[in-house]
Amino acid sequence: MDLLRRLGTSLDTPTIPWKSLIITFAVGQYAIESYLQYRQYQVLRRTTVPTQLKKEIDQETYDKSQAYGRAKSQFSAVSNIWAQIKNYVTIRYDVYPWLWAVTGSWLLSYAPSRFQGEITHSLLFGFTYSFAETLISIPFSYYHHFVLEEKFGFNKQTPALFLTDIVKSLGLSLAFGIPLGAAFLKIVQKTGDQFFLYLWLFTLVVQLFFVTIYPIVIVPIFNKLTPLPPGSLKARIDALAAKLKFPLSELQVIDGSKRSAHSNAYFTGLPWKKKIVIYDTLIEKSSEKEVEAILAHELGHWAKGHTTKLIGISSAHLFYVFALFSVFINNRSLYEAFGFYGEKPIVIGFMLFNEVLSPTDSVVKLLMNVLTRKFEYEADAFSHSLGYATELSSSLIKLQIQNLSSMDADWMYSAYHYSHPILTERLKAVGWTSTEKVGGDAKGTAGGSEKSSKQEL
């Protein structure tokens, strides 16, 4: 505690140009990520299929995959430029204090006096800011779904469903954000210098709560879940779960096809009660043995304790973030640099602290990618050890083709952005040797087809 207090005192000085530093950090990060994106774009301009995939990927499919990758890269470049402009304007022209004053005036004008404290003000500020961000993002999100994804045959959403999802998301933000935000602020107000410890414990409880209710309450708001009907696929999965002593309580199919042709499979739940969810598109485009191989990979994460390890790392990182926040929460020079004189709202302090912390996020992201890529190799090896090497490889290749995913990647871009190894790396790791073509031609993929899938294993 003394160390944190001393650090907080040493950083609370008007000689530190907080605003300039944050803008410089943001521009520097943007420059680095733009350089990495440029390197990847050069890879996406290649016209030769990677050697390991020559027997599996025909030229037409490869060309479409490259075109899709370039389209996504171009969209990302425009989105990132807009994000930088928006961030610069927000910081340079003191949008935070302006919005804080506006929302405060709304409370004075329309709210009873008992609702005019810092917590209510902070919640109104947070919702207004989030609502504005949502409105601003709608054109980009609409273009992504109804122009870019539509062009390559992936989008299955209707405009009505698109708007309904936005309304539902805002409703959930209010339903959960108000009580959780109020609790967050109350803990900081009431627990003194050790607030970060109580805040950390509170967050762990909230995470456990959401792990419990997410598949029961939240997922059904957006998608329909139905039990996987009896048959050979269900029998295979039940047998696999029993063999691994996986505590499977439910096996369900999700109607992912109503929004997208992409597909996935995942498990969720508490340690003693798990649910496996399979996208309908995955079942449609894969053989039963391939679905089984994919789930063997997913259960490999469970068997190897990857989920537990990631939760532990996330919890430790969260403790570090909250402890470091205690250093900045009363930093007068930071507040004043952003136009807050005479008051230090907790929610504003947390937002400004995140701006200061953002450069370290890139380092954490890079290190986490190294770890999760290692976990992916281990899960692939686990599936291999159960005798699914051929089926796992063929399913990965099929999904890659159906999704028009990038067949190759620049090593620097991949290290920074990808939490999973690229396809050729995974095939090499499991010792895949092509003996016959396992994927369909371009006519069976997006751009000229009914369905496709997204490899997110």
**Which residues are marked as active site?**
298, 380
- Please state at what angle helix 195-213 crosses helix 306-328, rounded to 10 degrees: 140
- Please state, in angstroms and rounded to a whole number, the distance separating the CA atoms of residues 261 and 263: 6
DSSP string, 414-430: HHHH-SS--HHHHHHHT
| Partners of 260 in the β-ladder | 155
Of 121, 126, 123, the closest CA to residue 104 belongs to 121
Say which residues have a Cβ less than 8 Å from residue 1's Cβ, sequence separation at least 6. Answer: 193, 194
Answer whether 26's CB lies under 8 Å from 88's CB: yes
**DSSP 3-state assignment of 274?**
strand
How many Cβ atoms from other residues are within 10 Å of residue 235's Cβ? 11
The SS3 assignment for 253 reads strand
Query: 10 Å Cβ neighbour count for 452?
Result: 24
Alpha-carbon distance of 325 to 8, in angstroms, equals: 10
Distance (Å, whole) CA 448 – CA 441: 10
List the one residue out of 336, 325, 337, 417 whose CA is nearest residue 22: 337
